[in-house]
Chain A
């Protein structure tokens, strides 16, 4: 792979990312499956970078999953999106930062629809006004939270306590990056680096000391897919996609996977459990799998935040081998202790996949 040529392509896809005063919208999946990720993002933004970032407690799901599964009609989705924008407007913000990649894709799609069809925009304004009495402005800047971390990756690197390096050998960690489909496959110009070779996570990996793995199925979807996943009988297809990716990356012996979509790490992480139960196959070292992280978690790790405060204990694939590899200090005894040291209980061990607890 000629990375210089890729850099030329990346230069063609540079988007404007606001540098402060953000209105934050959370992710349905990220909050539930990676509960430490969003608090880590907010902590970095407020405490490390001194940014103004605000979230209205009255904000809702964007209905992205519902829309993509044909449960929520587009008209309803657009009106709910308009309500999100109205909350942003009411607090005097113009820069929208969603936590979810599907939300980011959906907001991009809705704004694009309104740009091409002003009559629809007019109707949505009327819908919202009738339903809630609210009015809204379209965000001046729309960037995903991974774009924000990308923008400040060097500042984070400067403050970081750790790097993406094997502390025993000094070698960069081999990192697989996985971009959510809705980040740039729909609107390539809205993604840093475009659709084929997005740069948003590569930039973080490079700035934080890691070595990027380019493997054949890099651009393949993780298999989430919304519509087919919601139907239990169809989940085999989802895991077939996940397995395809793991089979492809396995020879490159990655140390970790970083993602920016909330759904993708769910499937790449828990998918390894499913594949191990279905097929008896594990990836990574010693049957323990390849640890999967959200970008916020990785940012928090290199900043030296406690892995259990970042929420890494809820990951299916044990993170301890990687933490040890990176030389990160942590207390294994506190893994399943919640706030005030309350014991949360341990998960049941899988049959095939090895875990640290």
Chain B
């Protein structure tokens, strides 16, 4: 009996994990990645929370599941898709056509474009970075310096940039930014022990194992200061330092602080890839523009279209652990569907 075929769209960690599991279960898997490397955003991260594991170790692990086991297409985007006789034909931008009995969408997220928060000065002031920019600096291995080559004395982390923000149209929490801010704040302190680090937050969300411990350690061992208040405005002085205007809501006073560097904790938004693909496949999106699943409790890997499964952050913000677990779940559901398994059928009704 010929192998059932499945196309996994998106070569981030969700796509890699799902593809690897599906291949291990005996399916013929095509993994489509529009970029030229696998790993998605995680490929750009340095140390991961909460245990400091290197991101490249996760990527290497996931790669071993797909290397030589899965047909990987780089630079491949789906520009046309048709369904007939219960199978899908995907036309790719690399000139190839793929047939599949099912599709698994793992198109991930984009990072919020921080320049939309004009008042924070991203892309205008050189010493205003995003958390992603900072990870890049960590990965480079170079000493952390300001734009004019000095070692920073004060760094501020701004939580909830592009999340929980009605003005930019993202009212949801991106989940991982608080722990990422604490992780990065600790990393900065490890690199520059004498630097003063401030975290400006609205609420601190440490929901998972070891997150609370990391937060405690940040305060007690590393002396990181947490200020409850939103940033109102960032401006630049003559020396390139950034002047922050915020409110310290716990003491009820406005606050002005001059720092050498500002790190904006940018949230997750539904990727352009997700939105374009959803249009082509007529997949329903939720109000927050992430993919809407059939049921958020039990059918979170099913889209509204038969034969199209979803995994990872294309359905909403997740940690790496949650993403990988979600991808395994999606792989199981898809494989079950392709085997005409009654479990899958019953759950999708």
Q: A8-B115, A9-B115, A196-B119 are in contact. Are A1 and B124 (CB under 8 A)?
A: yes
By a CB distance below 8 angstroms, the chain B residues around A196 are 118-119
- In the A-B complex, list the 10 residue pairs whose CB atoms are closest, starting with the nearest: A196-B118, A5-B123, A216-B235, A5-B124, A216-B243, A196-B119, A2-B124, A216-B237, A9-B118, A251-B238
Interface residue tally of chain B, by bracket? 10 to 19
A218 at the interface (CB under 8 A from B): yes
A306 located at the interface, meaning its Cβ lies under 8 Å from any Cβ of chain B in the complex = no
Instruction: Give A217 to B235 CA distance when docked, in angstroms.
Output: 8
Interface size on A, residues (CB 8 A): 18
Mark A310-340 against chain B: 1 for CB-CB distance below 8 A, else 0.
0000000000000000000000000000000
Bound complex: CA of A196 vs CA of B115, how far in Å? 12
Q: Which residues of A contact B233 (CB under 8 A)?
A: 219
Q: In the complex, which residues of chain B have a beta carbon less than 8 angstroms from the beta carbon of A214? A: 236
The contact string, 1 if C-beta is below 8 Å from chain A, for chain B 110-131, is 0000010011000111100000
Taking CB as reference atom, which chain B residue is nearest A188? B118
- Of B115, B124, B238, most buried by chain A (CB within 10 Å of CB) is B124
User: Known contacts A9-B115, A9-B118, A194-B118; is A219 also within 8 Å of B123 by CB?
Assistant: no
Q: How far is the CA of A219 from the CA of B233 in the complex (A)?
A: 9
CB distance from B162 to the nearest CB of A (A): 16
A135 to B119 CA separation, bound complex (whole angstroms):
42
**8 Å CB interface, A204-221 against B:** 214-219
A216 and B236 contacting across the interface, CB-CB below 8 Å: yes
Interface contact B118-A197, CB-CB below 8 Å = yes
**B123 interface neighbour in A2, A194, A217, Cβ under 8 Å:** A2
A343 within 8 Å of B (CB atoms): no
Task: Determine if A252 is an interface residue (Cβ-Cβ < 8 Å).
Answer: yes
**B123 nearest in chain A by CB position:** A5
Closest to B119 in A: A196
Question: Separation in Å of the A192 CB from the closest CB of chain B?
Answer: 14
A-B contact pairs, 17 of them (CB 8 A): A1-B124, A2-B123, A2-B124, A2-B126, A6-B124, A8-B123, A9-B115, A9-B124, A214-B236, A215-B235, A216-B235, A216-B237, A217-B235, A218-B235, A219-B233, A251-B238, A252-B238
B residues less than 8 Å from A251 (CB atoms): 238
Inside 8 A of B123's CB, which chain A residues have their CB? 2, 5, 8
Distance to closest chain A CB from B241 (angstroms): 9
Interface digits, A189-204 against B, CB 8 Å rule (1 contact, 0 not)?
A: 0000011110000000
CA distance A2 to B236 in the complex (A): 11
Q: How far is the CB of A248 from chain B (nearest CB, A)?
A: 9
Tell me the bound Cα distance from A256 to B233 in angstroms: 25
Query: Nearest Cβ distance between residue B267 and chain A, in whole angstroms?
Result: 20
CB distance from A195 to the nearest CB of B (A): 8
Chain B residues near A197: list those with CB within 8 A: 118, 124
Considering the chains assembled together, what is the distance between the CA atoms of A215 and B237 in angstroms? 6
Min distance, Cβ B234 to any Cβ of chain A, angstroms: 9
Q: Nearest residue in A to B232 (C-beta to C-beta)?
A: A219
**Most-contacted residue by chain A among B118, B119, B123, B126 (CB, 10 A):** B118
Chain B residues in 8 Å Cβ range of A216: 235-237, 243
Of chain B, the residue at the smallest CB distance from A252 is: B238
- By beta carbon, the residue of chain B nearest A196 is B118
Q: How far is the CB of A53 from chain B (nearest CB, A)?
A: 33
Q: State A5–B237 Cα separation when bound (angstroms).
A: 18
A100 CB → nearest B CB, Å: 26
B235 contacts which of A6, A194, A219 (Cβ < 8 Å)? A219
Residues of chain B within 8 A of A195, CB atoms compared: 118
In the complex, what residues of B have CB within 8 A of residue A1's CB?
Answer: 124-125, 236
Rounded to whole angstroms, the CA-CA distance of A252 and B239 in the bound complex is: 11
Inter-chain contacts of B126 with A (CB < 8 A): 2
CB distance from B214 to the nearest CB of A (A): 34
Closest partner residue, chain A, to B235 (CB atom): A216
Q: Which residues of A contact B236 (CB under 8 A)?
A: 1, 214, 216
Considering the chains assembled together, what is the distance between the CA atoms of A218 and B234 in angstroms?
11
What separation, in Å, do the CA atoms of A53 and B124 have in the docked complex?
A: 39
The chain A residue sitting closest to B237, CB to CB, is: A216
Q: Knowing A194-B118, A216-B243 touch, does A2 contact B125 (C-beta < 8 A)?
A: yes
Q: Given A216-B243, A219-B233, are A5 and B238 also a contact pair (CB < 8 Å)?
A: no
In the complex the two chains form, what is the Cα distance from A322 to B235 in whole Å? 28
